Structure 1
Amino acid sequence: MPFTTGFNHVATLTADVDRIVKFYTDAFGAETTFEMAAKEGHPRMVILDLGGGAALNVFEVPAEEIIGDRRRQGGRGPVDHFGLAVDSLATLEATRDRLRDLGADIGEIQRLGSEWSLFFRDPDGMELEVCCHAG
């Protein structure tokens, strides 16, 4: 039986974060819960609360860095990674230990807005994330 509690967020890439934020705010009532300015090695980022515990993490990158055809199934490339939700920091720490034991390439647990977050790479090298609400 799975111990995750579902998806935490989907991350996407855009060349115009303000346009995307406005669209999701207008279309779905999404609320900005976190914003980070671009810094060396990390693009500008906005986290949108979509309700029900789901979020959309939007990263702003130059258009030429987005690979794929968004309108053609099988050709889409703007989804960057997905995050799995767990119920507590203790479960996140246990997951980190389990991933380490499996030989996964993992980062450190960090606080991002209202979430504790752990990035890792699966055996194919795909970046994924495990998160839990902080507090």
Structure 2
Amino acid sequence: MDHPMPSGRRTIVLPTIDHGDVTLPEPSWCAGHTHHDPQSARADLMHAGPTVDCTHLGTTLFSAEIVQSPYAQPGPPHLGGRTPGVSVHPLGKTLTPAGLYSLAARLDSYADQLRDLADRLTAIHAGEGQ
């Protein structure tokens, strides 16, 4: 259930197995908690934004979403945590803005490699280079 806070920000109350009902400030980018499991521990509570999928020929190649786990234990930044990041699947890492730009640059480079392969395959189909 959503509740307005005096500042105009919204909150959400989520049941947990170890701390009972936990009231969380809801970030404006959060897409909701429809998949929340009441058997979750407080440390596992997570805000997640809308998913951005890269799908080709009916197969999802990548999915990404902004995430934040406000009660997460300190750990490696690529595993997510209290600071919002972007969770990328199947990479299985949560990226900072710099990490996300780096991934995008690598995907741009990979797209160029795929275009090169397409050019080579086109030449092969045309009977060249066999």
Q: TM-score, normalised by structure 2?
A: 0.25
Compare the two structures and name the one with the higher strand fraction.
1
- Structure number with greater Rg is 2
Compare the two structures and name the one with the higher helix fraction.
2
Relative contact order, higher structure (CA 8 A, sep 6+): 1
